[in-house]
Structure 1
Amino acid sequence: MRIQLLKCNVICSTRADMNTVTREFLIVIVAFTLLSGLMPQSTTIAYKISPESKVWVEGTSTIHDWTCGATEIKGTVELTFGTDMAPAISAAQVTVPIKKMDCDNSTMDRKLQKALKMKDTPNLLFEFESATTQDAAVADSFEVATLGYMMIAGQTRRITVTQYLTERVDGTIIFRGSFPVSMKDYGVKPPTALLGTIRTGNEVTVFFKFVLDPSRSNS
């Protein structure tokens, strides 16, 4: 009789312990499931840069200022949407064919193509590394400090670009900004004309407006 009672006590105790463990395990599973449902979900969307986008370069010379604009821009931008007010850039690459840079002057076009070594490196290229987003002074706009790599004439340099993000009512996202470029940093000799009597300045500024259209995304 004592043996049976002892055996029952052991078995009952073991079953009670197992039931306790099972209940605790179920509680953990339920809690994890509930928390997972409450955790913010993020979505990443890859956009193709819209034809509405613009890139242009402004520079100086010994006689007048000049501007060259890109008639073709290629690239993609990946944005991650979460609980933050602004989407975060997770990846980006922008390519501008040098052949598609138009200076409204055929002579300047040729000199620019030669200076940028178009035959060896036919594209201007920017590749994204990282970005930090914060509220901008302008209403409904966000300031995005972007780090990346700029390739010009076969030379690559790490640059910082400050751009501003806005979103239209239709969901279109726009990035605007500019950054300075020293041609000599990329081994580019500033173009000249008339036997060197007309010289362009070494410092230029690149301006851009990238339009990301929801209809041109992978969503």
Structure 2
Amino acid sequence: MKQYRFWITGVMVLTLVFASSQVFSQVKYTLTPASEMKISGGSTLHDWDMTSNSAKGEGQFVMEGSQFKGIKSLRVQMEAETLKSGTRGLDNNAYKALDTKKHKDVVFTLKEITGSGSSYQAKGDFTVAGVTKPASFPVKMTQSGSNLTFEGSFDTKLTYFSIDPPTALMGTVKTRDEITISFKSIFQPSK
């Protein structure tokens, strides 16, 4: 009888361990080409946007069945010179200010995400022009099938990343220090 109870207890423990590993799983996700990163700012002449659809990223997402429950790790990287405004002069001034010859990438590494449903708070590190600084900002999440879309923005300053705001036309046009880094990141399970 004791052996029978020991055997039943062992089966129950194994069943619980197996069932709990099925409830929460970590799934590798990658950024889709439909994602968009944007830096917006202004100058004494006009406001401007620089957009890129060339970011790469991957993360380990915590899923319960097919439902999003959190993120264990996440890193998104974008070549700075893929940011385009539609004006070559503005782009060249931006690349010079970002020192893209030395610091090719803009990188975000997630440290923590909290919240539930569609509203989250992300904390992580942005690396811009070779300078890494902490960032915290709200994120909206939507799920469509197995794809997860994250949208958010981070208001900051060029000087936060030790970047001198660029000038043009012999200093008559001055870039404002304030910028917004915004994104619409669509992640899909890795194949």
Note if contact 2:33-2:53 (Cα within 8 Å) is conserved in structure 1. Answer: no
Give the direction of change, closer, same or farther, for the CA distance of 1:31–1:77 in structure 2 (3 Å limit): closer
- Identity among equivalent positions (%) equals 25
Matching residue's letter, 1:69 = T
Distance 1:51 1:31 in 2: 45
In structure 2, which of residues 109, 121, 127 is the aligned counterpart of residue 151 of structure 1?
127
Matched, 1:39 2:42: no
Q: Structure 1 residue 200: deviation in Å?
A: 1.0
* Structure 1 portions without partners, runs of 5+: 1-18, 136-141
Which of these two proteins has the greater Rg computed from alpha carbons? 1
Q: TM-score, normalised by structure 1?
A: 0.80
Higher strand share: 2
Q: How many residue pairs get matched?
A: 190
Matching residue's letter, 2:146 = G
Give the direction of change, closer, same or farther, for the CA distance of 1:96–1:34 in structure 2 (3 Å limit): closer
Matching residue's letter, 2:186 = V
Matched, 1:86 2:68: yes
The correspondence of residues 199-214 of structure 1 with structure 2, limited to 5 A, is 199-214=174-189
The correspondence of residues 16-27 of structure 1 with structure 2, limited to 5 A, is 20=2, 22-27=3-8
* Structure 2 portions without partners, runs of 5+: none
Aligned residue in 2 for 1:28: 9
Matched, 1:175 2:157: no
Q: TM-score, normalised by structure 2?
A: 0.90
In structure 1, which of residues 113, 116, 119 is the aligned counterpart of residue 98 of structure 2?
116
Q: Structure 1 residue 161: deviation in Å?
A: 2.5
Distance 2:167 2:186 in 1: 34
Alignment root-mean-square deviation, CA: 1.9
